[in-house]
Amino acid sequence: MIDYKKETLFVEGVSMKTVNNTVDTPFYCYSMEIMVRRYRALREALKSQRATIYYAVKANPNLAVIKTFANEGSGADVVSIGELHRCLAAGIPTNKIVFAGVGKTRAEIAEALSVGIYQLNVESEPELQVINEIAMSLGVKANIGLRVNPDVDAKTHAKITTGLKENKFGVDLIRAPSIFKIAKSLENISLKSLSVHIGSQLLDLEPYRAAYTKVAEMTLHLRSLGFQIDHLDLGGGIGIPYQGEISPDLNSFSDIIQGTVGDLECELSFEPGRYLVGESGILVTRVIYVKKGRGKKFIIVDGAMNDLIRPTLYDGHHDIVPVQQFDQDTKPYLCDVVGPICESGDYLAQNRMLPKLEENDLLAVKSVGAYGAAMSSTYNSRPLIPEILINGDSFSVIRRRQTVQENMGLETIPKWLINE
């Protein structure tokens, strides 16, 4: 739970003022209780299905977050060798890891096959051939799924839509039979699975119905051609309310699954990320200056676009609240909450009504547990900021603040640039 107690913002049983005294701002803070509650709610909604949840690591790859889901029995959906290593370090069993992505390198494929992951999701014919070649050299049979593109509009932001024909993801659905035929001829390939993922931050469930219906029809068609299909990877993308929207109903989601693919007697996989972690996190930042502009004020804070890129990259809205609650009679005023980076796109919010703020006031940016720290950078040579995990009345620093020296640590100056 993230709420006020005696006018101070708490995450579960810990005051954000207490955390601030330990690590200083800006910092990310996550509620483990919210993550676990979300995971269990989804697991309960899917209990009538033969389903496995694979946490989409890209949403928040912190080792402690992955471990939280590993302890709940979750698998993992990864898209890089780095994410694979994170999952292994956090205790995800290799046979509960799915490796997705359109551009897996030969080195990534070889390592994934060597450790024995559950499935590689293939997104092109050239990739299929490469996997077979590498599997042959390793003396193993690669268990793969074919990601298909159903050409379904997910009704979400254009940059996170992945199931339209113009998107780079998956193969055209109608080409699936020909690829299955090729796969059948490859000695080191086992293809018995279809995969689909149409986008992220879906609040409307109807695109799922449309995509799953197409997948079900293709499954039946492939079976009629003599191909075995016993597993469907149905992706993720369930959205969360950033701006007062209504979250998708999980029981309705389960009904759609049952009504589309429920009679196919397939094992099912789901890959939620944002839904599990998004609302668990806040970004706490400090007011540096309050600057008067023309028609509004600029609240200049120590958090910046390198810490949270979603507002400027995706036009993402995040509610912002003061850590110390103000008197209800305090008149709000129009302002932008901006960072210290030298870009006009460096903002956390624009045209918001906030109470009167002063230097050193703390603000909390809400619903940043997904694609917040995961997408942060060191732009302007700003060190990566801490991440905190709350468990009841306890908290732990699960990523300390990077130092300036660490920020520069991978770089060297060539000898020929140094005057002797």
pLDDT at residue 105, rounded to an integer: 96
Cα–Cα distance between 218 and 20 in angstroms, integer? 54
Determine the pLDDT at residue 151. Answer: 63
Mean pLDDT per 10-residue interval, the chain, length 420 residues: 93 97 96 98 92 96 98 97 98 97 94 97 93 97 90 60 59 88 95 86 86 91 94 90 91 94 94 96 98 90 97 94 84 93 95 93 97 96 97 98 95 88
CB 266 within 8 A of CB 229: yes
Rounded to 10 degrees, what is the CA torsion of 104, 110, 116, 118? 20
Res 296: pLDDT:
87
The reported pLDDT for the residue numbered 168 is 59
Is the peptide bond prior to 26 cis by the omega test (within 30 degrees of 0)? yes
pTM of the model: 0.94
CA dihedral of 412, 416, 418, 420, whole degrees rounded to 10: 140
Q: 348: closest CA among 385, 400, 313?
A: 313
Helices (H), 57-123: 63-71, 81-89, 106-115
**Residue tagged 């499935």 (tokens):** 119
Q: What is the pLDDT of residue 173?
A: 87
What pLDDT shows up at residue 127? 94
| Distance, C-alpha 385 to centroid of its chain | 18
Residues 183 and 179: their CA atoms lie apart, in Å, by 6
Domains, the chain? 2-29+278-408 (2.40.37.10), 32-276 (3.20.20.10)
How many Å apart are CA 143 and CA 152, to the nearest integer? 27
Whose tokens are 């305090």? That residue is: 330
Annotated catalytic residue, options 29, 87, 266, 342: 342
Give the contacts of 134 (CB within 8 A, at least 6 positions apart): 106, 109, 110, 113, 142
**Residue 335 is a catalytic residue:** no
